[in-house]
Structure 1
């Protein structure tokens, strides 16, 4: 009889043991970024920062013993592809979606994901259209209004009084609001925007044709509101047409260190904003910098650091949330969050601010302006 009982009990014990050894269901984090468009260095920069944070956390044991699975979708910086990517993420039901990386894509996908009950957190979206709203969209970056005002003040302090602007109109929610606020604030300081010209980066524009009417307005500097690739090409044409004219660009062009490689000598002297202090000697920043270079065999760009911080904010909120707390509640409740350099503090609407630093490209290197 004992042998009979053992024959019944042993398989049950084995089943319980095997059940206890079954890996826990992973935590899924979505990532939505432009990875196949002509300005894909921006999306790749964000993706790499997120990948590094996720891999480091998984090496440390995941979140409460559950590994993180990163579900990546490419919006292609194009409306129909973004809709397709958003629908795929909705079907997969990740715990949260990091992205998108541009304001123009946020206009497309944010209503879709919000209606589906998914929380989004963008490292880089800056349009004020998404500021001050109690919704499912968190932002880690500062707004275009803050960025444009500071840029105007820096140029004015450098004795620039007349500026002409070239901007990428295909990312209108970002570019238009940036240009409008810069024009207003620069004028308030006593400067003047002599001319502005929009172009569509998706239509392979002639940058010489974009710049000629700007130069005809006799500016004291040219300012580009564009991606790193387009900033490099605009700079090349500007050096050909007006070799001595000072050049400047927004933080949009700081997505990667490759700007100096793409632009060559043409970007030497370019003034640009970065989302981090490149001279920071402290351990968290230096650790991130070393880990990024070891993982990807390149130096990081501004948006890799922003994305790394964003992913770590998500991870920390998931580690700290209690019981049935949803991720939105946790993100608002458990901050401030420590980034590689700066604390990330969300207000009640899920908006954060960011200190930036200005650099010049000198001899192919970014040199921070003191």
Structure 2
């Protein structure tokens, strides 16, 4: 066999190898998730992860990104600064295209600088602190701000005759809770000249909630309010029913999970709390989501599930619409508006958006809209 024939055959083998590689499965697109999957307020993170898993699975079944599947890399921030920083760096090192999360403002305070320095596009389903509002960075937020929610709460509570409100707030998520409290104090003053007395505490297994309640009641409030996660709100409500059963109770939106009703039982009956989605929505889109969610996880979705699914929709749509050489942030802004499960999502240049909310009270073990 001549040298030229052998060379021709070798070239054909090499060409065939390249063609096989080109025709083989395309590498997946990596998308990160970060949230509290352990510790005291893990109900938010777990439900949020479920919402993202469902969105990614539906996206992949529909063909993915032009045939490329999305690979979801989930990391726990454990609600501690050290774990959050490590998990954020792991996602940066994995070279994810985008990150969905985190779910609390205190964790965002740690995570966002790490992911932002790496230039990674990030969408948080739930953070609301004013510290992240109006900033031109790579962080988009699905939720409204603490200012929006605090002002709406103040109006409703003042209309109900609560002029002196006692507030307990958790310092473990102080970026959120202190922002919320400051906005609430301002709103109570602006909307009716009421008074707010606040008692801080740090959430933990050994927190003395009886003492926290006793300190609140020393201010002689005519209403009680808790800026805390679901587990703590259930325990604070228990003490409120023991020490001051005549006082109305309420809680910030952070606690509005399924766990609050499950853990609280009778002691959270009548509690006022806002939801960032309509639990009674009968639209086909939301009903299909609810049925798919229950079939996949054997649980009903909560507010973080809905918000996280919306956040995943933003990320996946931006990935699909991104043009050659375009940043994912630019693709997301160009893709405005997005159709969420219940609401249209439109971001401004800073990645902030408005969101409609619904006031509810807990009655008969379920959240009932306040008419």
TM range (shorter): over 0.9
Residue aligning to 1:114: 116
How far apart are residue 302 of structure 1 and its match? 0.6
Contact kept, 8 Å, 1:165 with 1:193, in 2: the verdict is: no
Decide whether the 8 Å contact of 1:160 with 1:191 is kept in 2: no
2:74 aligned residue: 72
Describe how 1:270-289 pairs up with structure 2 within 5 A. 270-289=271-290
- Is 1:320 the counterpart of 2:359 in the alignment? no
Q: Are the counterparts in 1 of residues 346 and 353 from structure 2 also a CA contact under 8 Å?
A: yes
Shift of 1:15: 2.6
Q: Which residue of 2 aligns with 1:297?
A: 298
- Which residue pairs with 1:258 in the alignment? 259
Compared CA separation, residues 191 and 220, structure 1 to 2 (3 A): farther
Tell whether the 8 Å contact from 1:122 to 1:310 is kept in structure 2 after alignment.
yes
Specify which of 45, 48, 56 is matched with residue 47 of structure 2. 45
Q: What SS is found at the alignment partner of 1:323? A: coil
Give the drift of 1:194.
4.4
Aligned to 1:130: 132
| Counterpart residue number, 1:224 | 226
CA contact (8 A) 2:141 2:351 kept: yes
Q: 1:29 aligns with which of 28, 31, 38?
A: 31
CA contact (8 A) 2:185 2:196 kept: no
Give the whole-Å Cα distance in 2 for the aligned partners of 1:223 and 1:280.
Answer: 27
Contact 2:319 2:328 in 1 (8 A): yes
Alignment partner of 2:74: what SS? strand
Q: Could you report, residue by residue, the CA deviation over 1:136-158 in whole angstroms, capped at 9, with x for unpaired residues?
A: 11111111111100111111222
Secondary structure of 2:258's counterpart equals coil
Change (3 A) 1:194 1:217: farther
Residue 258 of structure 1, CA deviation: 2.2
By how many angstroms is 1:160 displaced?
A: 2.1
Uncovered stretches (5+) of structure 1, i.e. residues with no partner: none
* Secondary structure of 2:267 counterpart: helix
Give 1:331-346 correspondences, 5 Å limit: 331-346=332-347
- Comparing 265-274 with 285-294, greater Cα deviation is found at 285-294
Aligned counterparts, 1:187-206, within 5 A: 187-202=189-204, 204-206=206-208
Where 1:281 maps in the other structure, the secondary structure is: coil
| Correspondence list, 1:146-157, <5 A | 146-157=148-159
Partner of 1:364: 365
1:92 to 67, 72, 94: 94
Question: Does structure 2 conserve the Cα–Cα contact (< 8 Å) formed by 1:156 and 1:191?
Answer: no
Query: Could you list the runs of 5+ residues in structure 2 that have no partner in the other structure?
Result: none
CA distance in 1, matches of 2:14, 2:103: 51
Deviation at 1:53, TM superposition (A): 0.5
When residues 48 and 118 of structure 1 are mapped into structure 2, their CA distance, relative to the original with a 3 A threshold, is same
- State the alpha-carbon separation in 1 of the partners of residues 53 and 120 from structure 2: 21
Say how many residue pairs are matched: 369
> RMSD between aligned alpha carbons?
1.9
Following superposition, the deviation at residue 212 of structure 1 comes to 0.7
The answer to whether residue 207 in structure 2 is matched with residue 210 in structure 1 is no
**Equivalent in the alignment of 1:60:** 62
What is the TM-score with the length of structure 1 in the denominator?
0.95
C-alpha deviation, 1:17, in angstroms: 5.0
The secondary structure found in structure 2 opposite 1:358 is strand
Aligned mates of 1:274, 1:295 — CA distance in 2: 23
Distance 2:297 2:287 in 1: 15
State the alpha-carbon separation in 2 of the partners of residues 194 and 106 from structure 1. 27
